[in-house]
A and B are shown apart, each in its own frame.
Chain A
Amino acid sequence: EDKVVQSPLSLVVHEGDTVTLNCSYEVTNFRSLLWYKQEKKAPTFLFMLTSSGIEKKSGRLSSILDKKELFSILNITATQTGDSAVYLCAVLNYQLIWGAGTKLIIKP
């Protein structure tokens, strides 16, 4: 059965800290891995990763995929309170298979 596992399930850090969120997967017919940020409303697209070892970066956020070990990480440096959200990882084969999410809380 296809599955996507995120860890930790929740994380509380202070502003300015760096965090690493993990996503491992066992999915047949892998096409790509996606990261989303969800606050109160709909998930907001962050990254799509298709190739191993190529880091994608957007401001303080970055992500990388390891297709051999079947995982991805999402890094956030110099965290701010506005980074508080649920971060969702999903793997695309013919549809998106979602992880349970990591709830990140940034304390001032």
Chain B
Amino acid sequence: DTEVTQTPKHLVMGMTNKKSLKCEQHMGHRAMYWYKQKAKKPPELMFVYSYEKLSINESVPSRFSPECPNSSLLNLHLHALQPEDSALYLCASSQEGEQYFGPGTRLTVT
């Protein structure tokens, strides 16, 4: 089973809203990732958690706040987003190298 699940599939939020994206994997992978992907561009790394600890934060604005409650779950808390934050948000997990991606959350900020 190489499944990573993400909820919600689609999200529309205003610039004053607070929302959260959720990601779950049950493959026992030690690392989990958040990526942002704009149209016609490759995924852009945002955060990496390794053994439930934040190991990489790629200079992401503070309006994005990651959380790793346990080894299977990864959240991304969103607050006061801008319209340019509209994108596909992808979660991935890995053990040794290959990363397996969830289906993504299509986020629109109005």
Which residues of A14-37 have CB atoms within 8 Å of chain B's CB atoms? Answer: 31-32, 34, 36
A interface residue count range (under 10 / 10 to 19 / 20 to 34 / 35 or more): 20 to 34
CA gap between A60 and B76 in the complex, in Å: 38
Contacts A43-B43, A88-B42, A101-B42 given; indicate if A96 touches B99 (C-beta within 8 A). yes
B42→A100 contact, CB < 8 A:
yes
The contact of A41 among B45, B48, B103, by CB within 8 Å, is B103
Chain B residues, CB < 8 A from A101: 42
List residues of B (54-105) whose CB comes within 8 Å of A's CBs: 56, 88, 90, 97-104
Whether the pair B97, A95 counts as a contact (CB closer than 8 A) is: no
Interface residue range, chain B: 10 to 19
**CB closest chain-B residue, reference A48:** B98
* A contact residues around B45 at 8 Å (CB): 95-96
| Cα–Cα distance between A48 and B100 once the two chains are bound (Å) | 12
Task: Report the minimal beta-carbon distance from B41 to chain A, rounded to whole angstroms.
Answer: 8
Q: Please, which residues of chain A bring their CB within 8 A of the CB of B98?
A: 34, 45, 48
Task: Name which residue of chain B comes closest to A47, CB basis.
Answer: B98
> Is there contact, CB below 8 Å, between A48 and B97?
yes
- 10 A-B pairs with C-beta separation under 8 A: A32-B97, A41-B103, A42-B102, A42-B103, A50-B97, A88-B42, A92-B97, A98-B43, A100-B41, A101-B42
